[in-house]
C-alpha cells in the first residue's frame, strides 16, 4: 500500500485504538469571551452566531451523545471521541466544566475527551481538571490560533496575541495533555510572509496535532459584510491546495493532521462555493503532494 503524503487522523486513530474511531460532536452550551463582552461582543469576524458546530444548546449533553450512538452513525464504529466543539469549551467554572465533561463520558465506547477552546482560556486549574480524566480517557485540547501574524489577528478580532498560545501550550505540556492547534488559510491581509511566520511559530512549540482550515464566508458575520462590500475576496481552491501543501511540507513530520478542510454550513455559506466539495479539497491535496513528490515535514526546520 502506498504511504500517505501526510499523517492522516483516521490512520492514526486506527493504529492507536486498533479500529475505526469517530467523533461525537457536542454542544456544551458554552459562550466565548470574544462574544459575551469580556473581550468583545462580535466574536472573530468569520464566526457565525452558531459557533463552529451544530446548534444543540437546548439538548442535554447526555442526550446528544446517546442520540449519536443510537443513530446510524453509532453503527459505523465501536469507539468514539467525545468532542466538545461549539464555542469556547473551557470558558466556565471548573465545577461546571467537570459536570459537563462527566455527563458526556458515561459510555464505555468513549475512549477520548476532546475539548476545543481558545489559548486565553487555558489555566493551570483547567489543565489540572482535564488531566484528571487521563486515568480513564485520552485527553485532547484544540486551540484556535488561526495565525501568528498579530496584525492579522487584530483584523480578525481574535482578541489575544501570539504569546498567549505559547503560554497555553506550555501549561498543557506540563500536564502532558495532547494539544492540537488550529490555523486558517485565506484570512484578510494574508501574505506568504504571514504564512511563513505561522509555520515558524508552530515549529518552535511542542504540540501533537494540527488543523488546517480554509477561510469561508458565512452569512451574518463581519466577514460577510466585507465580502458584500467588495473588501474581501475569498481564496480559490488552487490557492488553498498550494498553501496547505506548503504548510504540510514545512511542519514537523511527526504532527498528526486532524483536519485539512473547513466544513461550512451549507445553508449560510456565501463563498467560496468550492468549500462544499470536500472530496475536491482532499483529493486535490493528495494529488498535488504526489505529483510534486512532496511529503509532510520534508522542509521542516525548528
- The C-alpha cell that represents 57 in the structure block: 444548546
Report the relative pairing of strands 209-214 and 217-218 from DSSP bridges. Answer: unpaired
- The C-alpha cell that represents 95 in the structure block: 465545577
Confidence bin at 3 (pLDDT 50/70/90): confident
Sequence-separated contacts (24+) of 236-243 with Cβ below 8 Å? 236/272, 236/274, 237/272, 237/274, 237/280, 237/281, 237/284, 239/185, 239/186, 240/185, 240/186, 240/214, 240/281, 241/281, 241/284, 241/285, 241/288, 242/288, 243/185, 243/186, 243/195
The reported pLDDT for the residue numbered 48 is 81
**Residue (of 270, 156, 261, 166) closest to 213 by Cα position:** 261
The reported pLDDT for the residue numbered 285 is 98
Cβ neighbors of 78 (< 8 A, separation 6 or more) are 19, 20, 109
**Residue (of 262, 159, 149, 156) closest to 216 by Cα position:** 262
The residues facing 271 across adjacent strands are: 217
| Cα–Cα dist 198/150, whole Å | 10
The reported pLDDT for the residue numbered 262 is 84
- The C-alpha cell that represents 132 in the structure block: 484528571
Q: What is the DSSP letter of 8?
A: B
**Residue (of 80, 73, 113) closest to 13 by Cα position:** 80
> Residue 294: exposed, middle, or buried by beta-carbon count in 10 A (0-12, 13-18, 19+)?
middle
pLDDT in tens, 29-61: 999 999 999 998 888 999 886 555 555 667 999
| Contact between 250 and 299 (Cβ < 8 Å) | yes
Confidence bin at 5 (pLDDT 50/70/90): very high
The reported pLDDT for the residue numbered 217 is 96
**Residue (of 169, 79, 179, 94) closest to 129 by Cα position:** 94
The residues facing 211 across adjacent strands are: 182, 259
The reported pLDDT for the residue numbered 192 is 97
- Is the pTM here over 0.85, yes or no? yes
pLDDT in tens, 273-284: 999 999 999 999
The reported pLDDT for the residue numbered 76 is 93
CA distances from 115 to 27, 87, 130 (A): 11, 10, 9
Supply φ then ψ for residue 83, to 5 degrees: -110, 105
Mean of pLDDT over the chain = 95
CA distances from 197 to 49, 166, 170, 194, 208 (A): 30, 14, 19, 5, 19
| Cα–Cα dist 126/143, whole Å | 14
The reported pLDDT for the residue numbered 97 is 98
Chain centroid to CA 248: 16
Cβ neighbors of 204 (< 8 A, separation 6 or more) are 302
Q: Is the dihedral of CA 9, 13, 15, 19 positive or negative?
A: negative
| Domains located in the chain, CATH noted | 9-291 (3.20.20.70)
Amino acid at each position: 500500500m502506498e504511504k500517505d503524503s501526510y499523517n492522516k487522523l483516521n490512520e492514526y486513530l486506527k493504529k492507536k485504538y486498533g479500529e475505526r474511531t469517530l467523533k461525537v460532536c457536542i454542544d456544551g452550551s458554552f459562550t466565548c469571551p470574544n462574544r459575551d463582552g469580556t473581550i468583545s461582543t462580535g466574536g472573530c469576524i468569520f464566526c457565525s452566531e452558531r459557533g463552529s458546530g451544530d446548534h444543540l444548546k437546548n439538548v442535554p449533553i447526555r442526550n446528544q451523545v446517546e442520540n449519536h450512538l443510537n443513530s446510524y452513525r453509532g453503527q459505523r464504529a465501536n469507539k468514539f471521541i467525545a468532542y466538545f466543539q461549539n464555542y469556547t469549551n473551557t470558558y466556565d467554572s471548573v465545577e461546571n466544566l467537570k459536570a459537563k465533561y462527566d455527563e458526556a463520558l458515561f459510555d464505555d465506547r468513549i475512549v477520548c475527551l476532546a475539548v476545543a477552546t481558545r489559548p486565553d482560556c487555558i489555566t493551570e486549574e483547567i489543565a489540572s481538571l482535564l488531566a484528571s480524566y487521563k486515568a480513564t480517557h485520552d485527553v485532547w485540547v484544540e486551540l484556535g490560533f488561526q495565525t501568528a501574524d498579530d496584525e492579522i489577528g487584530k483584523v480578525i478580532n481574535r482578541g489575544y496575541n501570539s504569546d498567549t498560545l505559547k503560554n497555553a501550550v506550555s501549561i498543557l505540556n506540563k500536564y502532558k495533555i495532547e494539544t492540537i492547534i488550529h490555523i486558517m488559510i485565506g484570512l484578510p491581509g494574508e501574505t506568504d510572509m504571514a504564512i511563513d511566520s505561522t509555520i515558524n511559530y508552530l515549529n518552535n512549540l511542542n504540540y501533537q496535532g494540527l488543523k488546517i482550515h480554509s477561510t469561508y464566508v458565512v452569512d451574518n458575520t463581519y466577514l460577510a459584510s466585507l465580502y458584500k462590500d467588495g473588501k474581501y475576496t475569498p481564496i480559490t481552491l488552487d490557492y488553498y491546495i498550494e498553501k496547505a501543501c506548503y504548510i504540510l511540507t514545512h511542519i514537523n513530520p511527526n504532527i498528526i493532521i486532524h483536519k485539512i478542510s473547513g466544513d461550512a454550513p451549507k445553508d449560510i455559506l456565501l463563498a467560496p462555493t468550492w468549500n462544499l466539495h470536500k472530496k475536491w479539497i482532499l483529493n486535490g491535496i493528495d494529488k498535488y503532494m504526489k505529483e510534486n513528490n512532496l511529503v509532510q515535514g520534508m522542509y521542516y526546520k525548528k
